[in-house]
Structure 1
Amino acid sequence: MDFSNNILETIGNTPLVKLNKIVAEIDALVLAKVETFNPGNSVKDRMAVKMIEDAEADGRLKPGGTIIEGTSGNTGMGLALVAIIKGYKLICVISDKQSKEKMDILRAVGAKVVVCPTDVEPTDPRSYYSVSKRLASETPNSWYVNQYDNMSNSLAHYEQTGPEIWKQTDGKITHFVVGVGTGGTISGVGKYLKEKNPNIKIWGIDTYGSVFKKYHETGIFDENEIYSYITEGIGEDILPKNVDFSLIDGFTKVTDKDAAVYTRKIALEEAIFVGNSAGACIKGLLQLKEHFKPEDVVVVLFHDSGSRYVGKMFNDDWMRERGFLEENVTKAEDVIKDHLDKQLIVVRTEELVSHAIERMRKYKISQIPVVDINGFVGSVDETDLFRSYVADKNVAEKPIKEVMGKPFPIVKLGTPIEEVSKLFTKENDAVLVDLENGNHHIITKYDIIGSIK
């Protein structure tokens, strides 16, 4: 009989799959190392086992202990599998930008999940780095994993992932391309491959808002490069000890939008349902295409499963809200089609300014058309109302007709977006669209900006 003694024995030996349509413009053989075939559906299973086994061996982790880790979700899943099999408790500290699916999955496998804000400095006591350390100091018989500086992370990939790739390509690999977060995968695989063949190029995929690329190129840790980003699993605002920059030949940065768009493209064009960092890797690969020759063998690593991003990159509404959905916006009707069900909020000439202000607060809007029995006769916006209030503190009790400006321009549904955009001026912040059924809708500057691709 052929069986595994437990789920941990199924980790590794993931397939190498040739990519076709999505890399058609790359003149080389491109192979994906699909790590979603691990039981925890990510590359992090490998180092989770290694870190725990090494901690057991040297006494840092004792029987019945509590494992504590700050994670973007995938390491937590790997740790959870090991904790279940080996009888440990697990606390995962996760940032609030991570997908709900990741949090739900961690809870499903028995982990306690603590959520921390993303937009804080690493040294802030609320950051998931700081909270992880604090919990480790407060929890009896606990062990703080610290995947960023725990060298068992990169050692796992030196011992497993690197040799697998070398064997699967029969030593013909010329380039390895992978997203960089903790640095364990790129450093462990890179070290093994370069020991086998120093000419193999190791490329890291970074994201905007992360410090890796500039630090690699200049040696400068530039805090101005640090800002919030959406892409999950890659990039950092710290320099983990696991990132061995001497092994990395270069970095390329990928935008949040491109990472999200290409995550979906992989599923649609290659039938491989993988996560956000895989999308970043493919776009990064395309940005590096001039580095590849026809005889090259390029291996790109796909970190995790698309199932963890169903509510994000694979959700049209989520993509649309961020301007990531590749829709062709050419006419006025394209801009308003997703909120046609919303009623146009208006105010009448004889209503008080206080009524307009209350409506702006209630509906979270900045511009309101003014109507009388004949139709649209004026407009008010929050800037005009603020100026009026500064000039006259009693303005709230005055009728709208005394403070209103000119009416918003009205366009037809089929008006080209270029013509609509020209109607926005310093004096005019909105345009009305005639819906041809007696009703109207409003387009604001925000709507126009949101339609820019």
Structure 2
Amino acid sequence: MDFSKNILETIGNTPLVKLNKIVAEIDALVLAKVETFNPGNSVKDRMAVKMIEDAEADGRLKPGGTIIEGTSGNTGMGLALVAIIKGYKLICVISDKQSKEKMDILRAVGAKVVVCPTDVEPTDPRSYYSVSKRLASETPNSWYVNQYDNMSNSLAHYEQTGPEIWKQTDGKITHFVVGVGTGGTISGVGRYLKEKNPNIKIWGIDTYGSVFKKYHETGIFDENEIYSYITEGIGEDILPKNVDFSLIDGFTKVTDKDAAVYTRKIALEEAIFVGNSAGACVKGLLQLKEHFKPEDVVVVLFHDSGSRYVGKMFNDDWMRERGFLEENVTKAEDVIKDHIDKQLIVVRTEELVSHAIERMRKYKISQIPVVDINGFVGSVDETDLFRSYVADKNVAEKPIKEVMGKPFPIVKLGTPIEEVSKLFTKENDAVLVDLENGSHHIITKYDIIGSIK
């Protein structure tokens, strides 16, 4: 009989799969190392086992202890599997930008999940780095994993992932491309492959808002490079010890939008359901295509499963809210279709300015059409109201008709977006759309900007 003694014995030996349609413009053989075949559905299972076994061996982790780690979700899942099999408790500290699916999965496998804000400095006591360290100091018989600086991370990939790729490609690999977060995968695999063949090129995929690319190219840790981003699993605002920059030949940065769009394309064009960092890697591959020759064998690592992003990159509403959904906006109706059912907020000529201000606050809007019994006769804008208030503190008690501007232009549903855009001027910040059913909707500059792809 052929069976595994427990689920941990199924980790590794994931397949290499040829990519076809999505990399058609790359003149080389492109193979994906699909790490979702691990039991925890990510590459992080490998180093989770290694880090725990090494900590057991040197006494850092004792029987019945509590494992504590700051994670974007996947390391937590790997640690949870090992904790269940070996009888440890687990506390995962996660940032609030991570998908709800990741948090729910961690709880499903017995982890306690502590959520921290994303938009704080690493040294801030609320950051998931700081909270992890604090919990470790406060919890009896606990061990803080610290995957960023725990060198068992990259060692796992030196001992397992690198040799697998070398064997699967029969030593013919010429390029390895992977997203860089903790740095364990790129450094461990990179070290093994370069020992086998120093000519193999190692490329890291970075994201905008991360420090890796600039630091690699200049040696400068530029805090101006750091800002919030959506892409999960890659990029950092710190320099983890696991990132060995001497092994990396170069980085390319991928935008949040491109990473999200290509995550969906992989599923639709290759039937491989993988996560956000895989989308970033494929777009990064395309950005690097000039580096590849017909005889090259390029291996790209697909980090985790798409199941962890069904509420984000695989959700049309989520994508549309961020302007990531590739929709063809050509007419006025395309701009308003997602909120066409919302009521048009208006103010009447005889109402007071204070009424208009209150409506702007309540509905979080900046422009309001003014109506009387004959229809649209004017408009009010928050900028104009502010100027009026500065000139006359009593303006709030005046009727709207005394401060209103010209009425907004009105267009039909089928009006080309180019014509609609021309109606926006310094004096006009909105356009009304005739819905042809007796009612109207409003298009603002914000709507036009949001429709730009």
TM-score tier (shorter)? over 0.9
Pairwise mapping of residues 83-102 of structure 1 onto structure 2 (< 5 A)? 83-102=83-102
Whether 1:162 aligns to 2:159 is no
Distance 1:357 1:60 in 2: 62
Look up the SS of the partner of 2:191 in the other structure.
Answer: helix
Deviation per CA, 1:26-73: give whole Å up to 9, x if none: 000000000000000000000000000000000000111110000000
TM-score by length of 2: 0.99
Distance 1:38 1:60 in 2: 26
Distance 2:403 2:108 in 1: 58
Shift of 1:358: 1.4
Deviation per CA, 1:296-329: give whole Å up to 9, x if none: 0000000000000000000000000000000001
Moved more, 249-258 or 356-365: 356-365
Moved more, 386-395 or 30-39: 386-395
Deviation per CA, 1:259-283: give whole Å up to 9, x if none: 0000000000000000000000000
Shift of 1:161: 0.2
Deviation per CA, 1:315-368: give whole Å up to 9, x if none: 000000000000001111110111111011101000111111111111111110
Distance 2:115 2:429 in 1: 39
Shift of 1:421: 1.0
Distance 1:84 1:384 in 2: 63
Shift of 1:198: 0.4
Distance 1:367 1:231 in 2: 34
Look up the SS of the partner of 1:351 in the other structure.
Answer: coil
Whether 1:205 aligns to 2:210 is no
Deviation per CA, 1:134-171: give whole Å up to 9, x if none: 11111111100000000000000000000000000000
Distance 1:83 1:368 in 2: 58
Shift of 1:427: 1.2
Look up the SS of the partner of 1:165 in the other structure.
Answer: helix
Distance 1:335 1:16 in 2: 42
Deviation per CA, 1:52-101: give whole Å up to 9, x if none: 00000000001111100000000000000001111111110000100000
* Structure 1: tracts of 5 or more residues without a match: none
Distance 1:363 1:191 in 2: 56
Look up the SS of the partner of 1:338 in the other structure.
Answer: coil
4+ long deviations beyond 3 Å: none
Moved more, 352-361 or 161-170: 352-361
Match of 2:276 in 1: 276
Distance 1:3 1:386 in 2: 74
Moved more, 167-176 or 433-442: 433-442
Shift of 1:392: 1.9
Distance 1:130 1:405 in 2: 53
Moved more, 74-83 or 397-406: 397-406
Distance 2:425 2:312 in 1: 35
Pairwise mapping of residues 34-433 of structure 1 onto structure 2 (< 5 A)? 34-433=34-433
Distance 1:388 1:89 in 2: 63
Look up the SS of the partner of 2:428 in the other structure.
Answer: coil
Q: Percent identity?
A: 99
Moved more, 358-367 or 65-74: 358-367
Moved more, 412-421 or 142-151: 412-421
Distance 2:82 2:175 in 1: 32
Distance 2:387 2:105 in 1: 51
Deviation per CA, 1:230-288: give whole Å up to 9, x if none: 00000000000000000000000000000000000000000000000000000000000
Look up the SS of the partner of 2:337 in the other structure.
Answer: helix
Look up the SS of the partner of 2:319 in the other structure.
Answer: helix
Deviation per CA, 1:98-129: give whole Å up to 9, x if none: 00000000011111111111111111111110
Moved more, 148-157 or 356-365: 356-365
Distance 1:285 1:398 in 2: 62
Shift of 1:411: 1.1
Distance 2:278 2:127 in 1: 26
Distance 1:417 1:53 in 2: 61
Look up the SS of the partner of 2:384 in the other structure.
Answer: helix
Shift of 1:447: 0.3
Distance 1:419 1:20 in 2: 41
Distance 2:386 2:59 in 1: 65
Shift of 1:394: 1.9
Moved more, 381-390 or 233-242: 381-390
Distance 2:130 2:25 in 1: 44
Distance 1:79 1:389 in 2: 60
Distance 1:215 1:147 in 2: 20
Distance 1:77 1:54 in 2: 18
Shift of 1:393: 1.9
Shift of 1:419: 1.3
Q: How many residues align?
A: 453
Distance 2:386 2:129 in 1: 43
Distance 1:205 1:335 in 2: 34
Shift of 1:391: 1.8
Distance 1:136 1:108 in 2: 22
Distance 1:59 1:422 in 2: 70
Moved more, 356-365 or 70-79: 356-365
Deviation per CA, 1:178-231: give whole Å up to 9, x if none: 000000000000000000000000000000000000000000000000000000
Deviation per CA, 1:371-404: give whole Å up to 9, x if none: 0011100001111111222222222221111111
Look up the SS of the partner of 1:339 in the other structure.
Answer: coil
Match of 2:6 in 1: 6
Look up the SS of the partner of 2:433 in the other structure.
Answer: strand
Look up the SS of the partner of 1:185 in the other structure.
Answer: helix
Moved more, 396-405 or 252-261: 396-405
Q: Indicate the RMSD between aligned Cα atoms, in angstroms.
A: 0.6
